[in-house]
C-alpha cells in the first residue's frame, strides 16, 4: 500500500499552500484532487493586498503573471438610493481568474516536491486509509482536508453534521457590450451593491474582457429570494439580462464559521472545509492560504497534538477578526442602521477609503469603526 507523510485532499488554494510548506520542509506529501487542473472555480476572483503580501512573504510567489487587472478604487451602490460613494486610494485590489490562479499555485506545490493525483476523488477515509474512486488505497501519518465546502474529509470527523446548510453565492460573467453600469468608463473598478438581499451583498468585479457579477446572502434568512434578488441586480447593471439568464451559476459560501471543527486525531481541516471565510466580506482565498500554512506548520513543529497547535494558531490569528466581522454583519444589515449608514456614506467617501484599508489588512473592524467615526474630514466621492 502507498504511504505518505501527509495526504492533502483538495489541490486548490488551501491545499497547495499546505503542500508547498510541507514539501519544502522535506515531508513526503501527496495532493489528491477530483478535478483535472486547470479547472474552473466559481469565484469573484478578487485578491486583496494582504493576500499578495502573504504569497510573496511566505511562498516567494509573485501574483504578477496571474493578474488580469488591478484597481485602486472601490464603490458602493444601493438598490433604493443608487450610487452612494466611491473612493480612489493607495490600496490595490487585484483581479485573477481562478482557472489560472489555482493551476499556478498547484504547479508551485509540485515544483516544491508534492506528488499530485488529479482526476481522482476521495470517497471515504476508513481507519486512517484514504479510498479513492479509481480504487487506490493510500495511508498517511496526517490527512489535511482542503476539499472545500462539501468536504468529504470533514464528514469523516466524528460529531460533524452532514446536513449542514450553506449560504449561497450566485455569479455570472457579463461582456462589456451587455453592461450598462460602467458608463462613463472611469467608473470601471469594483463596486458592491447593497439593498438587494437582507443579509448579504452583490458585486461587479471588472476583468479585462468581462465583468463578474454576483450576489451572496445568508440563504437561511433569504433562501427563495436570492435568485429573485440577483435578477433585480442584473436588471440594474445589464443591458439585456435575458442574454445571460441561463449562464448563472451557484456555489456555497461557508460564512457561518464557528471554529468548532478544525480537526481531530490526525486530520486537520483548512480553507472552506474548515468554514474559514470572512463572515461579512465573504473573502476566502486569503484565509484558505493562511489556514493551509498554519496546518502545515502545526504538523512540522508539534510532537503530539497537532490539531491543538493548529487550533491555537487559527484562533489566535482569526477568531478576533471573525467575531468582529460577525458583529459588524449583524449591525450593518439591520435595516435602520443600514439606511443610516447609506445616508452618512453618501456625503463622505471616508467609509470607502477606510474599508479599502480594512480589506488590505491594515486595520480590523474595531479600528475601522473608530477611525471612521473619529475622522471629521470630508473625502469627496469620485
Q: In terms of Cα–Cα distance, which of 187, 219, 205 is closest to 44?
A: 205
- Specify the residue, 253 or 372, whose C-beta has the smaller distance to ligand FAD: 253
The DSSP symbol for 268 reads: E
Whole-number Å distance between alpha carbons of 125 and 145: 11
Whole-number Å distance between alpha carbons of 120 and 150: 16
What is the CB neighbour count within 10 angstroms for residue 20? 28
- Specify the residue, 146 or 341, whose C-beta has the smaller distance to ligand FAD: 146
H helices of the chain, in order, are 13-24, 49-59, 98-112, 152-156, 219-222, 225-237, 285-301, 306-314, 320-332, 335-347, 350-359, 365-374
Single out the residue of 5, 25, 38, 41 in contact with ligand FAD (rule: CB under 6 A): 41
- For the chain, helix (H) and strand (E) counts, in that order, are 12, 16
Per the document, the length of the chain is 382
C-alpha cell at 285: 482565498
Minimum distance of ligand FAD from residue 376's CB (angstroms)? 33
The residue number whose beta carbon is nearest to ligand FAD equals 284
- Specify the residue, 126 or 305, whose C-beta has the smaller distance to ligand FAD: 126
Using CB under 6 A as the criterion, what x/- string covers residues 317-356 for binding ligand FAD? ----------------------------------------
Residue 9 as a binder of ligand FAD (CB under 6 A): the answer is: yes
Using CB under 6 A as the criterion, what x/- string covers residues 256-275 for binding ligand FAD? ---------------xxx--
Per-residue b or e along 35-65, where b marks 16 or more CB atoms closer than 10 Å to that residue's CB: bebbbebbbbbbbbbbbbebbeeebebebee
Q: Do 8 and 27 contact (CB within 8 A), yes or no?
A: no
Binders of ligand FAD among residues 189 to 248 (CB under 6 A) are: 214
Number of residues that bind ligand FAD (CB under 6 A): 38
Instruction: Find the farthest-apart pair of alpha carbons in the chain and give their distance in angstroms, rounded.
Output: 67
Minimum distance of ligand FAD from residue 266's CB (angstroms)? 18
Minimum distance of ligand FAD from residue 109's CB (angstroms)? 12
Binders of ligand FAD among residues 117 to 146 (CB under 6 A) are: 121-122, 146
Single out the residue of 6, 14, 179, 238 in contact with ligand FAD (rule: CB under 6 A): 14
Minimum distance of ligand FAD from residue 186's CB (angstroms)? 23
Single out the residue of 6, 7, 30, 46 in contact with ligand FAD (rule: CB under 6 A): 46
- Specify the residue, 295 or 372, whose C-beta has the smaller distance to ligand FAD: 295
Binders of ligand FAD among residues 76 to 115 (CB under 6 A) are: none
Q: Which stretch binds ligand FAD (CB under 6 A): 59-67, 222-230, 282-290, 360-368?
A: 282-290
Q: Do 36 and 119 contact (CB within 8 A), yes or no?
A: yes
Interface ranges with ligand FAD (CB under 6 A): 9-15, 32-35, 41-46, 121-122, 146-148, 152, 169, 171, 214, 251, 253, 271-273, 277, 282-286, 288
Amino acid at each position: 500500500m502507498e504511504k505518505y507523510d501527509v495526504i492533502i485532499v483538495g489541490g486548490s488554494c488551501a491545499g497547495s499552500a499546505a503542500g508547498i510548506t510541507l514539501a519544502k520542509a522535506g515531508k513526503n506529501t501527496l495532493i489528491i484532487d477530483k478535478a483535472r487542473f486547470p479547472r474552473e472555480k466559481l469565484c469573484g476572483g478578487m485578491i486583496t493586498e494582504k493576500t499578495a503580501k502573504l504569497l510573496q512573504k511566505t511562498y516567494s510567489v509573485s501574483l504578477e503573471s496571474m493578474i488580469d487587472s488591478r484597481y485602486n478604487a472601490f464603490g458602493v451602490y444601493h438598490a433604493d438610493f443608487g450610487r452612494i460613494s466611491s473612493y480612489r486610494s493607495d490600496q490595490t485590489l487585484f483581479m485573477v481568474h481562478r482557472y489560472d490562479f489555482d493551476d499556478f499555485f498547484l504547479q508551485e506545490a509540485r515544483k516544491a516536491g508534492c506528488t499530485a493525483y488529479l482526476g481522482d476523488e476521495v470517497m471515504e477515509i476508513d481507519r486512517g486509509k484514504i479510498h479513492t474512486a479509481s480504487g487506490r488505497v493510500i495511508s498517511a501519518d496526517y490527512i489535511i482536508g482542503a476539499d472545500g465546502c462539501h468536504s468529504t474529509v470533514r464528514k469523516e470527523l466524528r460529531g460533524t453534521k452532514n446536513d449542514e446548510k450553506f449560504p449561497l453565492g450566485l455569479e455570472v460573467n457579463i461582456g462589456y457590450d451587455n453592461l450598462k453600469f460602467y458608463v462613463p468608463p472611469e467608473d470601471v473598478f469594483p463596486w458592491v451593491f447593497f439593498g438587494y438581499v437582507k443579509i448579504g451583498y452583490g458585486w461587479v468585479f471588472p476583468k479585462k474582457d468581462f465583468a463578474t457579477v454576483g450576489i451572496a446572502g445568508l440563504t437561511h434568512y433569504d433562501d427563495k429570494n436570492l435568485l429573485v434578488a440577483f435578477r433585480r441586480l442584473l436588471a440594474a447593471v445589464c443591458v439585456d439580462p435575458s442574454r445571460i439568464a441561463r449562464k448563472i451559476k451557484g456555489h456555497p459560501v461557508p460564512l457561518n464559521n464557528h471554529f468548532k471543527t478544525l480537526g481531530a486525531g490526525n486530520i486537520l481541516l483548512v480553507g472552506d472545509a474548515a468554514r474559514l471565510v470572512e463572515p461579512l466580506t465573504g473573502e476566502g482565498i486569503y484565509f484558505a492560504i493562511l489556514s493551509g500554512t498554519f496546518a502545515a506548520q502545526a504538523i512540522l513543529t508539534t510532537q503530539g497534538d497537532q490539531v491543538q497547535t493548529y487550533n491555537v494558531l487559527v484562533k489566535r490569528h482569526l477568531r478576533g477578526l471573525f467575531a468582529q466581522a460577525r458583529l459588524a454583519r449583524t449591525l450593518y444589515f439591520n435595516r435602520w442602521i443600514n439606511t443610516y449608514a447609506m445616508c452618512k456614506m453618501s456625503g463622505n467617501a471616508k467609509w470607502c477609503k477606510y474599508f479599502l484599508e480594512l480589506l488590505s489588512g491594515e486595520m480590523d473592524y474595531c479600528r475601522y469603526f473608530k477611525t471612521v467615526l473619529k475622522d471629521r474630514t470630508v473625502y469627496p466621492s469620485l
